Structure 1
């Protein structure tokens, strides 16, 4: 019973740690910023792993980088518009413009390196 409770608490805490974007705030949140958007689905096991990694990255990320999430089941049009074809996908934006997509699980070190390379 304790294990189930811990798993549920961990799942809920990681689910809400990073702000979620939607159709109405997506473009506004990206303006004038360096942003990594995690396109994910709640049913996707690799996405759940990536959520934990992104929560760790949030603690160590460069000050000039923001991280957001988009649930592709709720906002499919955003995923399609941004070329998301596999999960998890990290989309890197600079001042609202898509720079690149990275598919798959990345480490905190990978995220730091990508942030440095894309957001110089």
Structure 2
């Protein structure tokens, strides 16, 4: 299962108004660590489809949202719940570390 792509046009519907927690993966094409973390996030989404939704947001294509959520380095992941940021994860991490960071949602 591949993460859904969101944008400035669909962010409110995909993330802020979503039922349940949504992890937003802030990334860019040129970011090597972003490409490393993407398949790990896809695995987590596949293993926990009923607990968390994972969406990708390209910061180069959506600079307004990158600025709004103070994304200064990527990869950066933020978990939104009921429209609010609850958790922020910075940097590429191995699967076990991401699962630990997300334990409150997928545990």
Evaluate the alpha carbon distance shift between residue 101 and residue 109 of structure 1 in structure 2; reply closer, same or farther with a 3 A threshold: same
Equivalent position of 1:18 in the other structure = 3
Residue of 65, 69, 74 corresponding to 1:78: 65
Matches within 5 A, 1:15-54: 17-30=2-15, 31=17, 32-54=19-41
Structure 2, unaligned stretches of length 5 or more? none
> 1:70 and 1:53 mapped to 2: Cα distance?
16
- CA root-mean-square deviation: 2.0
Q: Give, in angstroms, the shift of residue 96 of structure 1.
A: 1.3
Q: Which protein has greater RCO, CA pairs closer than 8 Å, 6+ apart?
A: 2
Evaluate the alpha carbon distance shift between residue 119 and residue 97 of structure 1 in structure 2; reply closer, same or farther with a 3 A threshold: farther
Higher helix share: 1
Aligned length: 105
Structure 1, unaligned stretches of length 5 or more? 1-13
